[in-house]
Amino acid sequence: MTNMDSVSVRVFSLNCWGIRYLSKYCPQRYAMIGEMLCKEQHDIVLLQEVWSEKDYLFLKKKLASCHPHSHYFRSGVIGSGLAIFSKHRIRDTFLYRYSLNGYPYMAHHGDWFGGKAVGMAILNLGSLTANVYVTHLHAEYSREKDSYLPHRVVQAWELQQFIRHTSAGADVVILGGDLNMHPQDLGNRLLRAYTGLQDSYLETAKFDGCENGMTLIADNPFISKKELVPFEKGIRIDYILFKGSSKADVHCDSMSTTKGSVPNHPFPYSDHEALTAELRLEPRTPAETGSDRQSKNKDSATGKLAELVDIVTEARTEVKVGLHCAERMRYTAARTGVMGLALLFLELVIAAVPYLALGAEQPFPRTSFYLLAVLCFAMLLTTSMLYIFYTMELKSLQEAEDQMRLGIGSLQEKLKGFRLAQLHNPSRRPPEVQEPGAFEPEE
Amino acid sequence: MTNMDSVSVRVFSLNCWGIRYLSKYCPQRYAMIGEMLCKEQHDIVLLQEVWSEKDYLFLKKKLASCHPHSHYFRSGVIGSGLAIFSKHRIRDTFLYRYSLNGYPYMAHHGDWFGGKAVGMAILNLGSLTANVYVTHLHAEYSREKDSYLPHRVVQAWELQQFIRHTSAGADVVILGGDLNMHPQDLGNRLLRAYTGLQDSYLETAKFDGCENGMTLIADNPFISKKELVPFEKGIRIDYILFKGSSKADVHCDSMSTTKGSVPNHPFPYSDHEALTAELRLEPRTPAETGSDRQSKNKDSATGKLAELVDIVTEARTEVKVGLHCAERMRYTAARTGVMGLALLFLELVIAAVPYLALGAEQPFPRTSFYLLAVLCFAMLLTTSMLYIFYTMELKSLQEAEDQMRLGIGSLQEKLKGFRLAQLHNPSRRPPEVQEPGAFEPEE
């Protein structure tokens, strides 16, 4: 049968570092990227940090013949920076904007303006339906004192929620992007454990690329070594993840990364390394489906479920830290606002009392009076806006925490069911059949 | 077989009009609502405009025994106002915040601060998995000159996208809420045609309630008749929608609305009428699934698909109008900002030139100088913020328009396939099997 043949899919992911006029050699690098993509003819190309629509349009034109289907995901002020190019027809797209994404006043970090999101595209690969996701999470500016950690954990939570809930109808799931998380970071563990997504670097049969699959390396001329401390050689923060379903198995036949330079070019494609994974999709027969599921479940379901409960609990703790912090900041904003109001009141009293009571000349120098009033108004305005912003941050953190609490409850309930089943009949499989490797309360 | 028994589910939906200190008789009405819900014991209670968390907690406490499971969806500044109470365990929740939701400076309309969203809860009803959605779209303040129409159409688009993409694994889909759209409004048609959701008012076997199923009626003492003009008796903007799947059929056995008053109480529960639908879920056997699908498809698939293409095209036109409008507003903001800057520059020149060139005394009165400078700064600040806001609005509108364009392309492709199949073999069913009534490019 034709639809039982395996399908080979080459997936490419790159953070393009495409800040016009700020990123070095931006136009030259896009030209290089376009040429390489034309030559390599990947099935699916997932790009991040394509901040300018003009650059997207340049690539779209350049790749018109080899990648006729594409979508540029727009959000925030300067766009999400996410783009997908595909050889295969894109049937549908959807965008989820993360509820938390840094602070607008941290303009030098710029993440808030980027409107970080996860984009989804649905396409057919052979007889299979593939949900392809591309995302870019909030950057980590300091590993020791990472004030954005709760935001990134909430983003990872929302990412796994989005993927889990939108991929029930998919035969194959592929996620590529810059997660800004090391392989064992909390958000990464949360994402993989909850969705069952597998890391192509860890699963690949063949690998050719940087040591430990690193994607931000000291050997890249655009990287300042100071930024990488204490990771001398580099870090791995870009990923291609995948997962099969009851209808298809997915294997990673080979994977590669660029190594900080491009032959015959004076500089690399970006400050990040590019990733390429060659996935083999093998449609399952209904018979395989049953037996395979059963054997997988018997082995490790309970252990994995217990681990997932621990990870979600850890994430919840992190969100609580964020909640505490946001509450403190909102309190500070409120207090400063009240001080501004008090100052304004005081000024008016000082100015008015001698004038009204004594009928004397205005003793307050006019200039100082106006300057002080302006200062008070500015204080009031700024603190009001901050108060509103922190309130929104609090709502999002609380929502994520609530969802996590509820999720932990569901998982524990399921765990109890598993354990009871094992107790009564240790050789039988758990009562509810699961996707291999994934624990989805809704499945 | 036990899991083939039909399940009866009573669903309740109410816009609670719960603005503390502003909505009339708010605490008394919540007490009434709580009592009624305790007595009625619906399976699923979907509430909107529960703006205060305190009121949610009051209900949670009151309903602890009859509805032990609940979730309050938090977003925006004052929360989404959405809450769900359930007799059945909620296994998972997820929230999608609409990308467009009015303007923060339209504070008297307040929608922006509400952070309108669609909340999802996954629960088991008998042997079936139900995805339950609750939502509240942007209000319509003027039907003749509805400046929020593009926002509401985008919300309806995102709502159908969210439901379509998250419900692939669900056996039953239920949506309740205040859509702020009349039955034949564009967004409503878009939602129903794309998802295949059915309107319980139109499908019910028995109905007891207001004429034409109206939910905002002139007979309600909290409603000013002026607001309803030109709809003398009222309008229908609250809905309970549902849909089955290949695993279950859903029928609406009865439906009712309140009629503007509550027996033995001086006023009704809210300014909106409450809706109750009694749904009967009938699990399908695998044999039924196949034959039923086939017969349904043969009849009307092509016609419905063509209609859907028209609706999405209409929605796209509306979004384009919104785009044009947002572009104009952004341009105005930019022009005003430039004027502020020019004024500031002019002022500095006027003040500096005589001072520097002639060494004369400062001719500019100090007070006017400072006041003018403050005015210029205020103009610059306001217009910058507006510019950023309109840019974000543009991005969201563009994203929706792009998704619609791509969606239309996919639907047309499918339509072509249907027609070709009919042409070659008029008695055969179309090549791709669909959910009854729904056209999901990803299925």
Same domain, B281 and B357: no
Per the CB < 8 Å rule, is A395 touching B95? Answer: no
Contact check, Cβ <8 Å, B442/A169: yes
Domain hosting residue B114, numbered range: 7-294
**Mean confidence (pLDDT) of chain B:** 89
| DSSP-derived pairing of the beta strands B206-208 and B248-257 | parallel
Both A108 and A155 in a single domain? yes
The enclosing domain of B309 has a CATH number of 1.10.287
B119 with B211, same domain: the answer is: yes
- B443 reaches A (C-beta below 8 A): yes
CA angle A42–B166–A286, rounded 5-degree value = 70
Q: Looking at beta carbons, which residues of chain B come within 8 Å of A384?
A: none
Whether A65 is covered by a domain: the verdict is yes
Q: A391 CB near a chain B CB, below 8 Å? A: yes
B441 and A92 within 8 Å at the Cβ level: the answer is: yes
> Do B163 and B142 share a structural domain?
yes
- Give the gap in angstroms from C-alpha B182 to the nearest C-alpha of chain A: 26
Residues B48 and B137 in one domain: yes
> B443 in a domain, yes or no?
no
Question: Which of B294, B324, B358 lies at the terminal end of a domain, its last residue?
Answer: B294
Whether residue A352 sits in one domain with residue A237: no
Residues of A with Cβ-Cβ distance to B326 under 8 angstroms: none
Residues of B in contact with A168 (CB under 8 A): 166-170
Q: Do A388 and B77 touch (CB under 8 A)?
A: yes
Q: What is the CATH number of the domain that holds B96?
A: 3.60.10.10
Residue B1 maps to a domain: no
Of residues A71, A96, A396, nearest to B402 (C-beta): A71
The answer to whether position B369 is within a domain reads yes
Q: What would the pLDDT profile of B272-293 be if each residue is shown by its tens digit?
A: 999 999 999 999 887 665 555 5
Domain assignment present for A299: no
Which of A103, A55, A79 is CA-nearest to residue B99?
A79
Helix (H) or strand (E) holding B376: helix B366-424
pTM of the model: 0.92
Contacts of B387 (CB under 8 A, 6+ apart): B330, B333, B334, B337
> Chain B contacts of A72, Cβ < 8 Å?
402
* B129 and B226 housed in the same domain: yes
Among all residues of A, which ones are annotated catalytic? Answer: 272
Asked which of A267, A294, A321 is the last residue of a domain, the reply is A294
Please write the tens of the pLDDT for every residue from A113-168: 888 999 999 999 989 999 999 999 999 988 888 889 999 999 999 999 999 999 99
What are the residues whose beta carbons fall under 8 Å from the beta carbon of B144, sequence distance 6 or more?
none
Annotated active-site positions of B, please?
272
- Does one domain contain both B109 and B210? yes
Region A57-74: mean pLDDT is 96
Length of chain B: 443
Q: In A127-204, at which residue ranges do the beta strands (DSSP E only) sit?
A: 128-136, 172-178, 198-199
B340 shares a domain with B318: yes
Q: Is residue B299 part of a domain?
A: no
Q: Both A117 and A205 in a single domain? A: yes
pLDDT digits (tens, 9 = 90+) for A180-204: 999 999 999 999 999 999 999 999 9
Choose the mutation target among B57, B74, B411 for the interface with A, i.e. most A CBs under 10 Å.
B74
Q: Cβ contact (<8 Å) for B77 and A169?
A: no
Looking at the predicted complex, does its ipTM rise above 0.95?
no
Distance CA B174, CA A18 (A): 43
Q: Which of B370, B395, B442 sits opposite A91 (nearest CB)?
A: B442
Does residue B361 surpass a pLDDT of 80?
no
Among A115, A165, A399, whose Cβ lies nearest the Cβ of B73?
A399
| Chain A interface includes B382 (CB < 8 A) | no
State the Cα–Cα distance between residues B224 and B228, nearest whole angstrom.
7
Tens-digit pLDDT profile for residues B155-181: 999 999 999 999 999 999 999 999 999
Same-domain status, B317 and B228: no
| Res. B1: pLDDT tops 50 | no
**Would you give the DSSP letter of residue A357?**
I
User: Within this chain, do residues A44 and A109 fall inside the same structural domain, yes or no?
Assistant: yes
Q: How far is B78 from chain A (nearest CA, A)?
A: 8
pLDDT at res. B358: 62
* Residue B60 maps to a domain: yes
Q: How many domains does chain A have?
A: 2
The per-residue pLDDT for B434 is 44
Point out the least confidently predicted range of A118-132, B30-44, B79-93, B426-440: B426-440
Least confident of A157-171, A260-274, B1-15, B268-282: B1-15
Average pLDDT, chain A: 89
d(CA A374, CA A363): 19
Identify whether A395 is part of a domain.
yes
> What is the pLDDT, as a whole number, of residue A353?
77
Final residue in a domain of this structure, among B276, B294, B312: B294
